[in-house]
Amino acid sequence: MTDWNLSSLLQGLHDDIHKRLDIARTTMGDMVAKGDTSETIWLKLFQEYLPLRYRSEKAFVVDSRGNFSQQMDIVIFDRQYSPFIFKYEDQLIVPAESIYAVFEAKQTVNKGFIEYALDKVQSVRKLYRTSLPIPHAGGTYAAKPPIDIVGGILCYESDWKPALGEPLKNVLNTNSGGLDCGCVAAHGNFFYNKDQKQYEYEISGKPATSFLFKLISQLQYSGTVPMIDITAYAKWIK
């Protein structure tokens, strides 16, 4: 009989993320270093545990009309069907068509951070996305409409008490649906239910693990990104 225990494994995953975020918050005196470390911790979580069809990086997003987003802390994008990625030194730029989700990461959540994150998420969502008909053995499928880009926030603590109480809910509801999800690793997470048009909150003993599983489920329901029109980008070659 095996000695493996699934509950213990999932608890260990959460404890690892929680501990690393806590160390970054309590031991680093420089705010920039705290922020960078927090981003790295979340990024590594996605890189290690999301299915391989998804790639996670800090990146800018560009569209075929030459418009760029702000730099996002975490961009989850397709690598299987998106052949166009530009990298120069440490700067990564990915096409708008390949985006599944974008996140901003900070140590704590507050009103200013939510509004800041929403502005950055919108800088990605407003980009133009191409979509081509999809050839198959029996003919051609119609061009797929661009998928909804998931936008969210990731942090360890909250400036509010309780962390997922009325102040957080009021800010989110003011921009209802602008952010799809978020995780406050020390307390819980939230997701926007598009059918009910309201946020659902979970106060959990394993917020990071729970959030990861829910995010994977949401990405699965997003399906596959549309077929990119690479010739639209080629027009910029002069």
Q: What is the pLDDT of residues 128-138, one digit of tens each?
A: 999 988 777 77
Look up 104 and say whether it is catalytic: yes
The runs of H, that is alpha helices, within 86-181 are 111-125, 166-174
Are the CB atoms for 156 and 21 separated by under 8 Å? yes
Q: What is the pTM of this model?
A: 0.89
User: What b/e sequence results for 54-90 when a residue is b if at least 16 CB atoms lie within 10 Å of its CB, and e otherwise?
Assistant: bbbbbbbbbbbeeeebeebbbbbbbeeebeeeeeeee
Expressed in percent and rounded to 5, the helix, strand and coil fractions of the chain are: 35, 25, 35
Annotated catalytic residue, options 73, 78, 97, 157:
73
106: annotated active-site residue: yes
Provide the residue ranges of all domains of the chain, joining segments of one domain with +. Answer: 11-51+100-128+145-226
pLDDT score recorded for residue 127: 97
Q: Which one of 106, 157, 180, 206 is the catalytic residue?
A: 106
**Does 70 have pLDDT greater than 90?**
yes
pLDDT bracket for residue 9 (50, 70, 90): confident
Percent of the chain with pLDDT over 70: 93
Residues 78-89 have pLDDT tens digits of 987 777 788 888
The residue-averaged pLDDT of 85-113 equals 92
Q: What is the pLDDT of residues 177-208, one digit of tens each?
A: 799 999 999 999 999 998 999 999 999 778 88
Mean pLDDT over residues 70-83, rounded?
Answer: 88
Please tell me the predicted confidence (pLDDT) of residue 29.
Answer: 56
For this structure, is 97 an active site residue? no
